[in-house]
Amino acid sequence: MKIHLVTHNKHKFEEYRLLFRNENMEVEWVNTEYVEIQDDDVENVALFSLNALTGKIHEPFMLEDSGLYIKSLKGFPGPYSSYVNRTIGNEGIMDLMKNIRERQAVFVAVIGLRMDGQNYLFRGVTEGKISHEIKGKKGFGFDPIFIPEGSERTFSEMDIEEKNRYSHRMMAFKKLIEFIKI
Amino acid sequence: MKIHLVTHNKHKFEEYRLLFRNENMEVEWVNTEYVEIQDDDVENVALFSLNALTGKIHEPFMLEDSGLYIKSLKGFPGPYSSYVNRTIGNEGIMDLMKNIRERQAVFVAVIGLRMDGQNYLFRGVTEGKISHEIKGKKGFGFDPIFIPEGSERTFSEMDIEEKNRYSHRMMAFKKLIEFIKI
């Protein structure tokens, strides 16, 4: 079985290609943008997009919505992570967190899968904290400011294999694979 | 003619009620939430919502999408103003603007009207700047930090009649009224 991955984000596709390869599976990149709704819950965002793409993309297909939820900022930037990243960026998050001691944050990824005419959601969560400075060059998005629990380094200081041991993306992917392999 | 205004925001409805009253027109509040898409352009957000509500709300109906675009923050918070407001709030914007001299910002409102089976958009823009402190108690959202051009006070320091002389909402409303009265 070959799954089509719908994303406009090259980095995201690269991470998934590696994850699928480790499972001896193939993934095909469908590089296109699609409609996402405004909703605080990434599950709802993913579900809406799945339905919007149904009939337009060859099944089975998947997409992924992810967000960084910072506790002391009431969950900001949440599902709007990509917009926030390309406007105020990591520097903006540093400014917002300047005098805040509570650094707790979670990275959430929700994979939406459309297969055999049904929608399925798989959620991955990584607990961690916001670093005090922007660190590392690898990865993308908020990777340079997120330190997963169990490490002292940001996602951007890790190579992709190490990041994949911790990442929300990997957690969601694991559930997807378990489901597919039943 | 009575227009139905779809919004979950009581403050927004109150402002429109006054605007319509000044035109001797009636507006009926449809207090419901609706789907909004993620898009940097408020026009696209409004248009999508109009289509999503068509057939569900009695025509003619209208909705309004608005956003605050801060130049030095690359347009942030833009169309996600309501989310940003209830998470990092005005305090967050102050933190992001702390060491920034360039305070230029625009408030944009887009009214989407559904009438006789057609969609119409009316855009209102108010130029202004971000204040150096949070000021005033009236209004809602980013009103306490936005100073419109031609004034030295924030929207929140003005009563509603004064705000309506400057506001992006009023600018969009004027165009709507001109159109309706043809």
DSSP labels, chain A:
-EEEEE-S-HHHHHHHHHHHHHTT-EEEEE------B--S-HHHHHHHHHHHHBTTBPSSEEEEEEEEEEGGGTTTEETTHHHHHHHTHHHHHHHHTTT----EEEEEEEEEEEETTEEEEEEEEEEEEE-SS---SSS-TTGGGEEETT-SS-GGGS-HHHHHHH-HHHHHHHHHHHHHT-
Q: Per-residue pLDDT for A50 more than 80?
A: yes
Average pLDDT over residues A126-135: 98
The helix or strand, by DSSP H or E, that contains position B156, with its residue range, turns out to be: none
Which DSSP category does B58 fall into?
P
User: What is the domain count for chain A?
Assistant: 1
| Mutation site for B-interface testing, chosen from A37, A83, A86 by largest number of B Cβ within 10 Å | A83
Task: Specify whether A65 is catalytic.
Answer: yes
Window 42-61 of B, Cβ < 8 Å to A:
45, 48
pLDDT for A181: 86
| pTM reported for the whole predicted model | 0.88
CB atoms A74 and B83 under 8 Å: no
Orientation angle between helical segments A89-96 and B89-96, nearest 10 degrees: 120
Q: How big is the A-B interface in CB pairs under 8 Å?
A: 65
Per the structure block, which two tokens stand in for B42? Answer: 């408020």
Q: Which domain does B55 fall in, by range?
A: 2-181
Average pLDDT over residues A97-125: 96
Tens of pLDDT, residues A85-109: 999 999 999 999 999 999 999 999 9
3-state secondary structure of B103: coil
Distance from CA of B11 to the nearest CA of A (A): 21
pLDDT for B181: 86
- Helix ranges (DSSP H) in B23-146: 42-53, 81-87, 89-96
Q: What ipTM was predicted for this assembly?
A: 0.81
- Kindly tell me the sign of the dihedral angle through the C-alpha atoms of B125, B126, B131, B135: negative
Average pLDDT over residues A156-172: 94
pLDDT for B182: 75
3-state secondary structure of B118: strand
Average pLDDT over residues A71-79: 96
Window 60-79 of B, Cβ < 8 Å to A:
73-79
Please tell me the distance from the alpha carbon of residue B134 to that of residue B154, in angstroms, as a whole number: 9
Please tell me the distance from the alpha carbon of residue B153 to that of residue B147, in angstroms, as a whole number: 6
Please tell me the distance from the alpha carbon of residue A181 to that of residue A142, in angstroms, as a whole number: 32
Strand pairing of A61-70 and A26-30? unpaired
Half-sphere exposure of B163 (CA within 13 A, CB side): 26
Contact A149, A128 (CB under 8 A): yes
pLDDT for A60: 96
Please tell me the distance from the alpha carbon of residue A52 to that of residue B37, in angstroms, as a whole number: 12
| Mutation site for B-interface testing, chosen from A88, A91, A97 by largest number of B Cβ within 10 Å | A88
Taking all residues of chain A, what is their mean pLDDT, rounded to a whole number? 95
Tens of pLDDT, residues A136-161: 999 999 999 999 999 999 999 999 98
- What contacts A145, CB < 8 A, 6 or more positions away? A90, A93, A94, A130, A131, A134, A135, A154
Supply the CATH number for residue A9's domain: 3.90.950.10
Q: Is B90 exposed, middle or buried (0-12, 13-18, 19+ CB in 10 A)?
A: buried
Which DSSP category does B149 fall into?
T
Q: Average pLDDT for consecutive 10-residue bins of chain B (182 residues)?
A: 94 93 94 93 95 96 97 96 95 96 97 96 98 96 97 96 94 96 80
3-state secondary structure of B151: coil
pLDDT for A163: 94
pLDDT for A1: 82
